[in-house]
Structure 1
Amino acid sequence: MKLTLTPVDQNNWYAVTQLDTSKDQKSVFPVPAVYWLAESAYCGFTPLAMYAGDQLVGFAVHAIDPDDGICWIMAYMIDARFQGAGYGRTGMLALIAHLLELRLSDKLRLGHRPENERAARLYASLGFEEIDRQGHEVIRELLL
């Protein structure tokens, strides 16, 4: 399965806002996609739509921390309708490859809620090491 990452723009932004998690994931991914698009517009983040062929299946947001120059994956989500089909892993691999091409940083960080066990397993299996816990967030890092 191949996934394509595409910038969020005037042609797909509304479709991205319609992506959603399953009801049982609301506690581990409580912020809707529209929030990330708004924050991206005003905070210098880069939102990307994730497609399987012509089908929008998820999105990701990345940014460089201005304090230390490290690239962060601010948000990563596969729509509830497409979960369990391998898009999470495939999409994250595509995102990592994309960020490697951009050469933004030699490290990649992300955070997730401690109770988000699916995310924890996925990120650990891709080489993200837990480096910190801050309140309700586990911080993981992948050396590029």
Structure 2
Amino acid sequence: MVHLKKITEDNFLDAFNLRLAKGQESYVSHPVRSLAQAYVYRDQCQPFGIYNEDKMVGYVMVVYDYDIPEYDIWHMMIDASSQGKGYGSAALTQVIDYIETKPFGDSDRVTLTCKQENQIALKLYHRAGFVETGVEEDGEIELSQILGKKFVNAEEKSNEVTIRRAKSNDLSRIAEIFVLNNRIHYFPIFQDPEYSFSELQVVSAINHYFGKEEVLSHTYVFDDGLIKGFIQIEEKEIVKLYVDPFFQKAGIGHALIQFAMEDKDAAYVWALEKNIGAISFYKRHGFCLTGKKKYEEGTTEYLVKLALKNYES
């Protein structure tokens, strides 16, 4: 049975003897360095050995950041000889259980970072409810969650956050989010004030596009009492994905794209070549540039195609 045990003078040498698999050395600090940091932050952290029965198979440290405040999960690793056995997932659950006891402070926010190329760890963290915050530094993605809060689909019983099919009375909010994003992100590219600030209005967006049944029936909204984002999916294509600018960097885009991939089998998207932020967002979620491009209709700007690695078209 997997369990956590505090690092003490009795077992710290076992932590020193843990080894990562070849190629993983750049993903996480070794326990030797981590325990040196634990000494510095000893009043606000707790290092653990991850055990299967009586054998140490991994290491993790919980740190409390009083400035934010939040709990941080640092340097989680499983020994090379013990990987692929579910120990990481089981240990992460117990780390969250430990944090829920609020050992250092009362924050419900839990944060960690992960190398972008460490896809196995990213999938583990996503399954545990962590979402990207939008912060990225030196190739490490920040992920976070609020204890007790998760994003769910409409079919699941929840009174918190729902991703559901859009309804006609959602149209004004959907169009508002679209118009806001268009003006902020697309006007600097197209430099067409007549379109962005005259032709493009909430009412016209509804009448000419979103109000059509074939569009509405393929649109889903992120709704936690207020619609904060939406996604349009047709077959395997993500046609549109927008989050209200006032609520960005809160994991809403991540929740929508995970829904698209996991529940609707979405596998590709066309993005403006100059929309670097959007392209980076899709890359963080496993999409890759395919080399295909086409003109955005009626303009001289290119759209580029991104697709999941296993998608063939």
1:65 deviates by 1.1
1:57–1:79 CA contact under 8 A, matched in 2: yes
- Which stretches of structure 1, 4 residues or more, deviate above 3 A after TM superposition? none
Say whether 1:54 aligns with 2:54. Answer: yes
Q: How many residues align?
A: 142
1:102 deviates by 3.0
Q: Deviations over 1:97-144 (max 9, x none)?
A: 111123642010000111111111110111100002123210000111
2:4–2:51 CA contact under 8 A, matched in 1: yes
Give the greater-gyration-radius structure (CA).
2
Unpaired stretches in structure 2, ≥5 consecutive residues? 148-313
1:106 equivalent in structure 2: 108
SS in 1 for 2:100: helix
C-alpha distance in structure 1 between counterparts of 2:32 and 2:92, whole Å: 20
Relative contact order (alpha carbons < 8 A, sep ≥ 6): 1 or 2 greater? 1
C-alpha distance in structure 2 between counterparts of 1:62 and 1:126, whole Å: 16
2:30–2:75 CA contact under 8 A, matched in 1: no
Identity %: 28
Instruction: Map residues 1-144 of structure 1 onto 2, 5 A cutoff.
Output: 2-29=1-28, 31-44=29-42, 45-102=45-102, 104=105, 105-131=107-133, 132-144=135-147
1:62–1:75 CA contact under 8 A, matched in 2: no
SS in 1 for 2:143: strand
TM-score (norm 1): 0.93
C-alpha distance in structure 2 between counterparts of 1:100 and 1:3, whole Å: 18
Q: Deviations over 1:7-37 (max 9, x none)?
A: 10010001111111101211222x2210001
C-alpha distance in structure 2 between counterparts of 1:10 and 1:86, whole Å: 27
95-104 vs 107-116, which moves further: 95-104
TM-score (norm 2): 0.44
C-alpha distance in structure 1 between counterparts of 2:119 and 2:138, whole Å: 16
Q: Deviations over 1:41-65 (max 9, x none)?
A: 1123321111111011111111111
Unpaired stretches in structure 1, ≥5 consecutive residues? none
